[in-house]
């Protein structure tokens, strides 16, 4: 077998141009196949890791997806508000560990302004229960303070101490700027790769302050309590109480409310894009099949060119079975090398562009070399190369049996 492998390498070296094109085809196919799979897995993981440590999201009666998208992903608009009185009643419940208020409705140069409390920075977590931290500064201490997400500060060039003005309305449709109530940046959050990076955070008192028509003293503003908020994030002491509290909130008679479990709603939303996800996966499989067919075409085409080579091997005593194994070894070898080159190319691409995808799209691409699914894909590719090699191998075997070597 070692002799056959040496012959295979010599044959490949002699046909390096065509073999190189075949290797390139396999490399691109494997890069796309494994890359699309990593993108699917990491995109789903990043999507689900946008928020953790939150058991319930409560808002006005609307669709579950709409509530999640508007409060967590800052997409879409909330249908209505809920009373602040209900929020305080939730804080006092025995099973509730914390409740974080969320007030929407304003923006700053295309970025959402979120009114909340200091509990947001203490209890809101993302990823594997990672806590929000600041690159510099501190959280807001007064109604004139603002904390900005990492992406906001980077894109707009903000630093601690800069003054900003917010406007009524969300996103690019904002209007009525509150020029008479400027804010001072007191903190900048570290990057998270989540929508947190693309928002501006102020206190609930600040939200009330900028919407007051009459001008009250600053001292009065600090004591001001809101009448309503957009939503709240709830964390429970006992996870067993989740469904009971959710049912109680959804059946609340005094105002129409909706309580959702983030994880379940994440799953429902992800299923909506499952068709596109599967389509992308199918396309990558077809590209891989095209690469394998290219390899098969290369070997079949080379059979005619290698007639003299086979004749010489037969004259040296090579059996039809050994001739057949030459084609199998070549196909398998090219597939293995092409797969490894494809993995190396994917690693380079993740290294080069992974840092761009995370802040831009919130997708944290990884290259887990120990991932069993990764090696299942590579194993399947190598098996496919081994199987494809038998097609020209059988043809060569039959040909050598039928024709033999013509005596000189």
Tens of pLDDT along 339-355?
Answer: 999 999 999 988 887 77
Q: Residue 402: its pLDDT value, please?
A: 65
Distance CA 89, CA 101 (A): 12
What are the helix and strand counts (H, E) for the chain? 14, 16
| DSSP sequence for 341-394 | HHHHHHHHHHHHHHHHHHHHH-------TT-HHHHHHHHHHHHHHHHHHHHHHH
| Nearest partner of 129 among 49, 25, 65, 197, judged by Cα | 49
Distance CA 25, CA 29 (A): 6
| 156 or 325, which is more confident | 156
Report the phi/psi class of residue 241: left, alpha or beta, with left for phi > 0 and alpha for psi in -120 to 50: alpha
Distance CA 164, CA 161 (A): 10
What are the angstrom distances between the C-alpha of 193 and each of 76, 198, 358?
A: 20, 9, 5
Q: What is the mean pLDDT of residues 61-71?
A: 92
pLDDT, tens digit, 9 for 90 and up, residues 300-324: 777 776 777 777 777 777 787 888 8
Lowest mean pLDDT segment, chosen from 11-25, 222-236, 261-275: 11-25
Q: Residue 405: its pLDDT value, please?
A: 45
Tell me the angle at which helices 372-403 and 307-315 cross, rounded to the nearest 10 degrees.
70
φ, ψ of residue 158 to 5 degrees: the values are -90, 150
Burial letters 182-198, b for 16+ CB under 10 A, else e: ebebbbbbeebbbbbbb
Distance CA 329, CA 55 (A): 56
Mean pLDDT over each residue of the chain, to the nearest integer: 84
Kindly indicate the confidence band of residue 293, based on its pLDDT and cuts at 50, 70 and 90.
confident
Please say if the pLDDT value at position 274 is more than 80.
no
| Nearest partner of 272 among 64, 122, 86, 116, judged by Cα | 64
Q: Residue 250: its pLDDT value, please?
A: 96
Q: Residue 22: its pLDDT value, please?
A: 83
Q: What is the mean pLDDT of residues 267-283?
A: 81
Coil/strand/helix, residue 45: helix
Q: What is the mean pLDDT of residues 366-380?
A: 84
| 370 or 385, which is more confident | 385
Q: What is the mean pLDDT of residues 230-234?
A: 96
Lowest mean pLDDT segment, chosen from 47-56, 112-121, 143-152, 198-207: 47-56
Coil/strand/helix, residue 39: helix
Q: What is the mean pLDDT of residues 222-249?
A: 90
Distance CA 181, CA 200 (A): 15
Question: Could you give the percent of the chain with pLDDT greater than 70?
Answer: 89
Lowest mean pLDDT segment, chosen from 113-122, 148-157, 165-174, 388-397: 165-174
Q: In terms of C-beta density within 10 A (0-12 exposed, 13-18 middle, 19 or more buried), how is residue 6 classed?
A: exposed
Coil/strand/helix, residue 153: helix
Q: Residue 11: its pLDDT value, please?
A: 72
Q: Residue 407: its pLDDT value, please?
A: 47
**DSSP H helical segments within 15-83, as ranges?**
16-48, 64-71
| 4 or 43, which is more confident | 43
Please say if the pLDDT value at position 393 is more than 60.
yes
């Amino acid at each position: 077998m070692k002799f056959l492998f040496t012959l295979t390498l010599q044959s490949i070296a002699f046909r390096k141009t065509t073999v190189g094109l075949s290797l390139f085809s396999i490399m691109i196919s494997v890069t796309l196949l494994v890359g699309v799979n990593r993108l699917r897995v990491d995109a789903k993981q990043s999507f689900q890791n946008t928020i953790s440590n939150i058991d319930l999201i409560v808002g006005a009666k609307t669709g579950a997806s709409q509530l999640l998208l508007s409060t967590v992903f800052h997409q879409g608009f909330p249908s209505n508000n809920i009373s602040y009185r209900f929020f305080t009643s939730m804080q006092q419940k025995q099973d509730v560990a914390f409740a974080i208020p969320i007030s929407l409705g304003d923006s700053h140069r295309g970025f959402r302004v979120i009114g909340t409390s200091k509990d947001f920075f203490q209890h809101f977590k993302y990823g594997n229960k990672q806590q929000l931290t600041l690159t510099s500064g501190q959280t807001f201490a007064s109604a004139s303070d603002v904390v900005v997400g990492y992406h906001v500060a980077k894109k707009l060039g903000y630093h601690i101490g800069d003054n900003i003005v917010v406007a009524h309305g969300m996103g690019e449709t904002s209007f009525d700027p509150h020029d008479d109530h400027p804010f001072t940046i007191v903190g900048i959050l570290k990057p998270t790769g989540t929508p947190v990076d693309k928002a501006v955070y102020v206190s609930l008192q600040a939200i009330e302050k900028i919407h007051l028509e009459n001008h009250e003293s600053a001292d009065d503003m600090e004591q001001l309590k809101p009448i309503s908020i957009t939503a709240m994030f709830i964390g429970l002491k006992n996870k067993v109480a989740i469904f009971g509290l959710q049912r109680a909130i959804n059946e609340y008679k005094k105002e129409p409310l909706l309580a959702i479990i983030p994880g379940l709603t994440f799953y429902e939303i992800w299923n909506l894009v499952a068709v596109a996800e599967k389509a992308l996966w199918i396309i990558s499989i077809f590209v891989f099949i095209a690469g394998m067919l290219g390899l098969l075409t290369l070997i079949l085409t080379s059979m005619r060119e290698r007639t003299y080579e086979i004749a010489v091997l037969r004259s040296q005593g090579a059996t039809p079975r050994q001739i057949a194994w030459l084609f199998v070894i070549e196909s398998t070898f090219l597939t293995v090398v092409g797969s490894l080159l494809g993995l190396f190319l994917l690693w380079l691409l993740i290294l080069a562009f992974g840092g761009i995808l995370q802040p831009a799209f919130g997708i944290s691409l990884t290259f887990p070399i120990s991932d069993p699914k990764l090696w299942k894909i590579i194993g399947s590719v190598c098996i496919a190369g081994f199987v494809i090699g038998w097609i020209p191998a059988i043809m060569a075997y039959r040909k050598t049996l039928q024709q033999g070597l013509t005596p000189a």
